[in-house]
A and B are shown apart, each in its own frame.
Chain A
Amino acid sequence: MADRVGTALLGAFVLLAVVGPVLAGSPTALVGDVLEPPSWAHPFGTDSLGRDLFARTADGARTSLVVSTAAVALALLVAVPAGLAAARAHGRWPDQAVMRVVESTQVVPQFVLVVLLLGLGGAGPVQVLGVHVSTTARIVACIALGFVPFFARIARASAVVELESEYVEALRVAGVGERELLVRDVAPNVAPVLGAQVLLALAIAVFAEGGLSFLGLGVPAPHPTLGNLIAEAGGQLLDGAWWYALIPGLVLVAGITGCNLVGDAAADRLVRSDLR
């Protein structure tokens, strides 16, 4: 039941993010009067500058989806090899080194770290070693960095369990190389464990992207994100523009709830299949 609700919410969110921008007009054009309530022409109403909020919410959902998916993917790309390498060297110095680096990024909570790193450069593009890095890329990188310790720990822990298991021992005895073991036997078994966590991480990434936009450290104007739509909407509540704060907020909640429910269900299934 929860599973189905979750799939429905997540599906609706993804649908809005993928199809919405195609159906809606431009999210930046001034198409209506300021603060029009929802109508047939503008199903989500208009914002304080007279832009269509359906187009903006859909575009914002897309940005949230792209940024958070990219961040989680990037984090996996870094964290899984690091975690596996650490597991292989279990207890020896490469393991220690990886885990120490991981720990040192965890001296402050993940979101605080992301805020601090983004806050440093100001809300704008930067040059890193002569390469132009757009604000959006920086946001993706910073959120990803926040997830690396999380995934690296999970990958390492479950790989260590696998490497110590009997079947791996048997393969070792049979003469299978350590590297091949890791890639062909251990990694596929670590994947489902990580998979369940990926959706939960996505929920956090969507939240974080919104929070950064809210603090003014997010994707720059005029492109909307759910976070800065919500931040801008706060003041409009005073004028009775309820739709402005409510609809983008509900879309964000739907996305996060969907990820959480589906992620939960996946984790449950994993536990159950383990017990069997």
Chain B
Amino acid sequence: MIRFALHRAASLLVTLVVAVSGLFLVLHASPGSPLTNLAPSVAADPEARAAVARETGLDRSMAEQYGDFWASLLHLDLGTSLYDGSSVSEAIASAAPVSFQLGLMAAAVAIGPGVVAGVVAARRRGRPADAAVRVLSVVAISVPSYWLAVLCLVLVGERWPDLVPAAGGYTPFGTDPVASVRSLLLPAVVLGLGGFAMVARSLRSSLVGVLDGDDVHFARAMGMPEHQVLGRIALRAVAPSTVTVVGLLVGGLVSGTLLVESVFALPGLGQLMVTAFVRGDHPLALGTALVTAVVFLGLNLVVDVAGVALDPRARRRVAAGRT
């Protein structure tokens, strides 16, 4: 089991290095950079351009810059922004909590109600409750978050201003937990909606299969109470497929934060990353992409390992060395 986890982690690390290197190349080939963002009257002067390039280190060869990037990364130094000279690590440290809290709250919105809806639909298969869950989940998965966010911001925001993020976008959880959670509630609901649908749909379809299975019939025939049938047999049997869905959910949440943060003007990692890429602020762009990738891959690793741990068949496969 542990060997499986380590093996996966090592392979992800290689993937990460390849991907970040690719990103570095693409970033350097792209037209945006502090040089192109100079005031046109300055940029028009070749001498001034060259002087600025020297000052920002953009005149060095790409190999040299690439080497420097990894050298400082090994010292856990992500460098400084080419625009305001501020520390990339600090910028990420201040933005990441917003995205994490938003992601966690959205995951709660997705998984809690999603599990409830999935179980209810499976238990009441073919009845109105089931139909309601199916309709709700198809709609929830199809409504684009950015559209819903715009509608919510104006329609909900006009009536209940406390529910939309305040100026500055975010109250740190440590400062005022209630205000913090309240201000992220609406974005979290918008963000978590798609995930809710995925969890509900997947749980329903796999539960339906299990509830019809021999294990469950046998247990019921033996007089096992229904909640135990559900808890001990059915939910345990569908755990691996649900964990896979949670893996997909992670991807959806990370993507969704880009759009939702943009609509609600939340000072999170997604906003920081998009700004950095559009401006061609290389250190900040690489830093934010790296952190996003590490979080995303890390969560995927956890999901993979959990999937194996929860699925007896996969466990046997891993033990047999077929990963």
A and B touch in the complex (CB under 8 A): yes
Binding site for B on A (CB under 8 A): 2, 100, 103-112, 115-117, 119-122, 126, 203, 207, 210-211, 214-215, 227, 230-231, 233-234, 237-238, 245, 249, 252-253, 256-257, 260-261, 264
Given A104-B22, A252-B144, A253-B144, is A122 in contact with B278 using a C-beta cutoff of 8 Å? yes
* Stretch of B25-33, B117-125, B175-183, B212-220 on the interface side: B25-33
By beta carbon, the residue of chain B nearest A200 is B141
Give the complex CA separation of A272 and B83 in angstroms: 58
* Chain A residues within an 8 Å CB radius of B258: 111-112, 115, 215
User: Which of A100, A108, A121, A122 meets B18, CB within 8 Å?
Assistant: A100
30 contacts between A and B (CB under 8 A): A100-B15, A103-B15, A104-B18, A105-B19, A107-B15, A107-B296, A109-B255, A111-B258, A112-B254, A112-B258, A112-B273, A116-B273, A120-B26, A120-B30, A121-B32, A210-B144, A214-B146, A214-B262, A215-B262, A215-B274, A230-B150, A231-B146, A234-B153, A245-B151, A249-B151, A253-B147, A256-B143, A257-B138, A260-B141, A260-B142
By beta carbon, the residue of chain A nearest B14 is A100
The reply to whether B144 and A111 form a contact with Cβ atoms under 8 Å apart is no
Min Cβ gap B129→A in Å is: 16
Min Cβ gap A86→B in Å is: 16
Give the complex CA separation of A238 and B138 in angstroms: 29
* Chain B residues within an 8 Å CB radius of A261: 138
The 6 A-B pairs of least Cβ separation, nearest first, read: A111-B255, A119-B277, A120-B30, A257-B142, A234-B150, A109-B251
Given A120-B26, A253-B142, A261-B138, is A110 in contact with B255 using a C-beta cutoff of 8 Å? yes
By beta carbon, the residue of chain B nearest A210 is B144
By beta carbon, the residue of chain B nearest A259 is B142
By beta carbon, the residue of chain A nearest B27 is A120
Within 8 A of A (CB), among B222-279: 251-252, 254-255, 258-259, 262-263, 273-274, 277-278
* Chain A residues within an 8 Å CB radius of B278: 119, 122
Give the complex CA separation of A122 and B32 in angstroms: 7
Give the complex CA separation of A203 and B252 in angstroms: 14
Is B116 part of the binding interface, using a Cβ–Cβ cutoff of 8 Å?
Answer: no
The reply to whether B138 and A2 form a contact with Cβ atoms under 8 Å apart is yes
The reply to whether A260 and B18 form a contact with Cβ atoms under 8 Å apart is no
* Chain A residues within an 8 Å CB radius of B18: 100, 104
The reply to whether B146 and A211 form a contact with Cβ atoms under 8 Å apart is yes
User: Which of A2, A109, A215 meets B254, CB within 8 Å?
Assistant: A109
Min Cβ gap B318→A in Å is: 17
Helix, strand, loop or mixed for chain A's interface? helix
Give the complex CA separation of A256 and B139 in angstroms: 9
* Chain A residues within an 8 Å CB radius of B251: 109-110
The reply to whether B15 and A104 form a contact with Cβ atoms under 8 Å apart is yes
Min Cβ gap B141→A in Å is: 6
* Chain B residues within an 8 Å CB radius of A115: 258, 274, 277
* Chain B residues within an 8 Å CB radius of A120: 26-27, 30, 32, 277, 280
Give the complex CA separation of A249 and B258 in angstroms: 19
By beta carbon, the residue of chain B nearest A206 is B144
Give the complex CA separation of A243 and B143 in angstroms: 17
By beta carbon, the residue of chain B nearest A230 is B147
* Chain A residues within an 8 Å CB radius of B139: 253, 257
Is B16 part of the binding interface, using a Cβ–Cβ cutoff of 8 Å?
Answer: yes
Min Cβ gap B55→A in Å is: 23
Min Cβ gap B245→A in Å is: 14
* Chain B residues within an 8 Å CB radius of A207: 144
By beta carbon, the residue of chain B nearest A216 is B278
* Chain B residues within an 8 Å CB radius of A2: 134, 138
Min Cβ gap B187→A in Å is: 15
Given A109-B255, A215-B262, A237-B154, is A119 in contact with B142 using a C-beta cutoff of 8 Å? no
Is B293 part of the binding interface, using a Cβ–Cβ cutoff of 8 Å?
Answer: yes
Min Cβ gap B89→A in Å is: 19
The reply to whether B296 and A109 form a contact with Cβ atoms under 8 Å apart is yes
Give the complex CA separation of A121 and B20 in angstroms: 18
* Chain A residues within an 8 Å CB radius of B23: 116
Is B155 part of the binding interface, using a Cβ–Cβ cutoff of 8 Å?
Answer: yes
Min Cβ gap B122→A in Å is: 16
* Chain A residues within an 8 Å CB radius of B150: 230-231, 233-234, 237, 245
Given A2-B134, A100-B15, A120-B277, is A211 in contact with B254 using a C-beta cutoff of 8 Å? no
